[in-house]
Amino acid sequence: MLFKTILPLLAVAGTVLAQTVDTLNAAGVASKPKSSAKVSSSILATSTSAAPSSTSAACSSAPSSTAPALTFLYTAFVNCAAPFDIGVVSEGDRVVIPIVGGNFTGPALSGTILDLGADWGYFDTKTGIFHPDTRYNFRTTDGANIWIRSTGSSTPNGSLQLRFLFETGAAAYYWLNNVVAIGTLRQVAAGADGSSVLRIDAWIMAGGNGPAA
């Protein structure tokens, strides 16, 4: 849902900027947009300066299919209370899965999951695929509060693939605001009352803004 919303917005913003630059260039008054254009070309220059020899070599022969490496972030056990149904809405069949506790353990952060959050995901009525949409909270062993949002999709065997966004103002964990993180989820226990325990394994893309070594 997040990406569905944000990508078109970015596309629109890009179009508007380009049109603004064109319009102002035509009018000969493009001093401010020109500086935006300079910023864009300096970003491009930065990214191509890492290329081996020339721009044409970078375009024609740079490896294009090297998978990015991942760095393990944590394993979380998430305690959920019995789900309930909102019903079929515009996006699909919306459900609520209360998140009521748990823990997470990893090399750079460990702690407990607060009884304060839920998955407000939905089943796509065309495919039956479940799309989680969570907000919940970690508290680290040293007392930092971390807010998590995740979205993703169920897979044919019932496990889920997730993407995460983290927010925290805590200095020791501020890097979490800037990581690109993915994970897998599967159910590891189910109670007769509809409660469940989910296991989530999370990784971040290596080479980005990970924890200080």
Ligand X SMILES: *[C@@H]1O[C@H](CO)[C@@H](O)[C@H](O)[C@H]1NC(C)=O
Residues in touch with ligand X (CB under 6 A): 77, 103, 105, 155, 157, 159, 184, 197
Nearer to ligand X, 145 or 196 (CB): 196
Whole-number minimum distance, CB 117 to ligand X, in Å? 16
The full DSSP string for 126-154 is TT--EE-EEEEEEEETTS-EEEEEEEEEE
Residue 154's contacts (CB-CB under 8 Å, 6 or more residues apart) are: 129, 130, 131, 160
165: buried, middle or exposed (CB in 10 Å: 19+, 13-18, 0-12)? middle
Whole-number minimum distance, CB 75 to ligand X, in Å? 9
Nearer to ligand X, 91 or 115 (CB): 115
Structure tokens at 9: 């917005």
The CA distance from 198 to 97, in Å, is 11
- Residue 25 host element (H or E): helix 2-27
Cα Rg of the chain (Å, integer): 22
Nearer to ligand X, 17 or 116 (CB): 116
Nearer to ligand X, 68 or 207 (CB): 68
Whole-number minimum distance, CB 151 to ligand X, in Å? 17
Nearer to ligand X, 47 or 159 (CB): 159
Token pair 């020791």 in the structure block, residue: 172
Whole-number minimum distance, CB 76 to ligand X, in Å? 8
Nearer to ligand X, 38 or 186 (CB): 186
Structure tokens at 108: 């750079």
Whole-number minimum distance, CB 141 to ligand X, in Å? 10
The CA distance from 36 to 27, in Å, is 17
Q: Are 177 and 208 in contact (CB under 8 A)?
A: no
Whole-number minimum distance, CB 81 to ligand X, in Å? 14
